[in-house]
Amino acid sequence: MTLTIDHLYIAVGLLLASVAVMNLLDRSNPRRVTTALFWGLYATLYLAGERIAPAWIGALMIAMALLAGFGGVRAGKPSVLSDEARRASAARLGNRLFIPALLLPLVTVLGATVFKDVRIGALPLLDPAHLTLVSLGCGALAALLSACWLTRATPLQGVREARRLIDAMSWAVVLPHVLAVLGLLFSETGVGKAVAHLVTSYIGLETRFIAVAVFCLGMALFTIVMGNGFAAFPVMAGGVGIPVLVGVFGANPALMAAIGMFSAYCGTLMTPMAANFNIVPAALLELPDKNAVIRAQIPTALPLLVANIFLLYFLMNL
């Protein structure tokens, strides 16, 4: 038997369904019914997504956005250990607490490297198409089981703690997912082509330095709009990088590609559209300002973008 991503979908679906049920039964949650509905709909996507007609899934996504947008997704009052009990537990367990925490990345890396080619009979052990995620699933399971063994807690307590964290992040959990849908719709309707058209038809690219600057800034700007450097790269490389920088000014294509992609990443650091890197961590770290991570990254992203322009300009004909 192969461990596939579908097993992970079922596990995550069951986790989200538990979050829904726990919220429904929790009278300390001021919006327990709408909150339960939100997580229940999301659980449905994971448990039965491929068996429901796509139009209904689209409607489900809109319903979730309305629930989130009008304040329907709230948290209950989590039951945590008292400060003294938690510190006593930290002192009792000592550095052993780090073992499950480190097991998580360790098992993930082992799965993605050592167990990559392990087969049981004719079938691979881990789904090769989603190797990293399936390995992460194994790592998460190993970490959970070892944490239960270490703390003598039940796996159900693990689910309760997962609910506490998911409740704290609230709708930010689904934001990267919804933005990815928007990104796909943008490419389907030709938003990329329209942006590239605007960039290339209104700016003169006859000067080498201006062409380099337009290429790097365009990558960053496009990524800020789309939230994803992978969406920006084909458009800007196809519109400016290959025809102008390589074609006219004879730039080294490997350098053009490398610095172009890194310029796109500078954009990723500055956009709320890249929610999984910028907005989710703000929710995860319980920051009141959802843009705090972006604010912390701008002083790195802007100088680095300028550095990229000069690196590309001076190294392009080496």
Angular region, 228: left φ>0, alpha ψ -120 to 50, beta rest: beta
The residues near 91 (Cβ < 8 Å, ≥ 6 apart) are none
Q: Which of 45, 126, 205, 220 binds other proteins (CB under 8 A)?
A: 45
Among positions 188-207, residues that touch other proteins (CB under 8 A) are: 188-191, 193-195, 197-198, 201
Comparing CB distances to other proteins, the nearer of 51 and 121 is 51
CB of 58 to other proteins, least distance (A): 3
Residue closer to other proteins by CB (options 102, 122) is: 102
Nearest Cα residue to 231 out of 281, 270, 180, 175? 180
Q: What are phi and psi of 120, to 5 degrees?
A: -110, 110
Nearest distance from C-beta of residue 307 to other proteins, angstroms: 4
Choose between 121 and 292: whose C-beta lies nearer to other proteins. Answer: 292
Instruction: Identify the residue among 28, 30, 33, 49 touching other proteins (CB under 8 A).
Output: 49
**Which residues, numbered 220-239, are part of the site for other proteins (CB under 8 A)?**
225, 229-230, 233-234, 237-238
d(CA 309, CA 217): 8
Among 43, 124, 308, 313, interactor with other proteins by CB under 8 A: 308
Which residues between 75 and 134 bind other proteins (CB under 8 A)?
80-81, 86-91, 93-95, 97-98, 100-101, 104-105, 108-109, 112, 130, 132-133
Tokens, residue 47: 């448990």
- Binding residue (CB under 8 A) for other proteins from 29, 199, 282, 313: 282
Nearer to other proteins, 214 or 282 (CB): 282
Nearest to 116 by CA among 130, 102, 100: 130
Q: Which stretch binds other proteins (CB under 8 A): 22-30, 43-51, 120-128, 206-214?
A: 43-51
317 part of the interface to other proteins, by CB under 8 A: no
Number of residues in contact with other proteins, rule: CB under 8 A?
148
Binding segment for other proteins among 26-34, 115-123, 206-214, 247-255 (CB under 8 A)? 247-255
Enumerate residues 127-186 that contact other proteins by CB under 8 A.
130, 132-133, 135-137, 139-140, 143-144, 147-148, 150-151, 153, 155, 157-162, 164-166, 169, 171, 173-182, 184-186
Question: Per CB under 8 A, which region of 27-35, 115-123, 204-212, 282-290 contacts other proteins?
Answer: 282-290
- Residue 32 Cβ vs other proteins, minimum distance, rounded to whole Å: 20
Closer residue to other proteins, CB minimum distance, 2 or 121: 2
